[in-house]
Amino acid sequence: MRIFLLLACGAAIVYPADTRRPKIIDAHVHFNGDPAFLTAYTKKLESVDGQGLLIAEQKHIATVKAFMERNPNRLYGLGQMSLDHPDALRMVDEFHEAGFRGLGELTGPEASYDDKRYWPIYERAEKYGMILLFHTGIVNRRNFAEPMNVSSDRMRVMTLDLIARRFPKLTLIAAHLGNPDYAWAAEIGRWNPNLVFDVSGSTLYKKQADLSYFKSIFWWDNLVSPHTPKTNVSAFEKLVFGSDVFGGELAEFERELELYNKLLDACGVPAASRENIFSGTLWKVLNRVR
């Protein structure tokens, strides 16, 4: 399958042909700028029949693009940028023209994610059919001495509800399941088909003694009611796999896989749903399969 996207100027972006669903699609991996990481991570993906959504900054576009051309059907680019950058729209164009499939991990906004000042960026990304990966919930603080204009409150998961409804052709991935707003995350996910979650980060460690708790969050399996959208799949299919490997720490990939499997075991999630969680859902998005 070859997919063409026509640009306003008439040039066509050709996305790589990919006719076979891999076993794993990692929705969340940070490029640390070291080309050796690209090789090591791609090797890891090959060993598990995987693909990855690689988060890369503007300054790394050329490196990542060249690597992806040499290693087709393994990595998809996500452009790391600040929503508050004065040149944000041009950056979206640049990532798109380089063949990147989305933006992320969006984080640290100066206003809430759903603030109208960011709508032109979402509109542009929607035009390109992009995937937006948002950091949601509590965020780390690395340098305690440095003053920062950062607040987890502006990244609450419920700020994605408006974006999902207002920009229905965007695919939103809320990283970290809104930690700790899990209940809100699931509820807005229930009504927004274009919103999914990864559960990377500290959540599966925090909840390891109580993993069946998530059954109360993803509660709507097989329910027939006018008060919930019709679905014949497990509510856990709101999850996609994300490793949140950063700083080149590849061991995190295996740890996340193990944690995801423990969660899905504890909640009795069926095999067909696991296939979608680990790759099927994102494979359809990436290949425009409806």
Q: Which residues bind Zn ion (CB under 5 A)?
A: 135, 175
Least Å distance, CB 41 to Zn ion, is: 18
Residues 6+ apart with CB under 8 A from 121: 83, 88, 89, 92
- Give min distance, CB of 243 to Zn ion, in A: 12
Strands 12-15 and 195-197: unpaired
In the complex, the smallest distance separating the C-beta of residue 230 from Zn ion, rounded to whole angstroms, is 32
Residues with Cβ < 8 Å from 64, sequence gap 6 or more?
Answer: 31, 38, 54, 56, 75, 77, 98
Based on CB atoms, which residue is closest to Zn ion, 18 or 26? 26
For residue 286, the tally of other CB atoms under 10 A from its CB is: 22
Q: Which is nearer to Zn ion, 175 or 264 (CB)?
A: 175
Residue with smallest beta-carbon separation from Zn ion: 135
**CB 222, min distance to Zn ion, A:** 32
Instruction: Give the tokens for residue 261.
Output: 């499997």
Quote the least distance from Cβ 140 to Zn ion, whole Å: 8
- Considering the complex, state which of residue 96 and residue 135 has its C-beta at the smaller distance from Zn ion: 135
- What is the closest distance, in whole angstroms, from the C-beta atom of residue 175 to Zn ion in the complex? 4
Residue 196: CB atoms within 10 A of its CB come to: 23
Cβ closest to Zn ion, residue 21 vs residue 135: 135
| Residue among 27 and 125 whose Cβ is closer to Zn ion | 27
Nearer to Zn ion (CB atom), residue 130 or residue 174: 174
Q: How do strand 3-6 and strand 12-15 relate by DSSP bridges?
A: antiparallel
Selection from 3, 4, 5, 52 nearest residue 24 by Cα: 52
Query: To which residue do tokens 């640049």 refer?
Result: 94
Nearer to Zn ion, 101 or 135 (CB): 135
Q: From the CB of 130, what's the least distance to Zn ion, in Å?
A: 18
- What HEC string does 196-248 produce? EECCCCCHHHHCHHHHHHHHHHCCCCCCCCCCCCCCCCCHHHHECCCCCECCC
Produce one character per residue of 118-146: b if its CB has 16 or more CB atoms within 10 Å, e if not. beebbebbbbbbbbbbbbbbbbeeeeeee
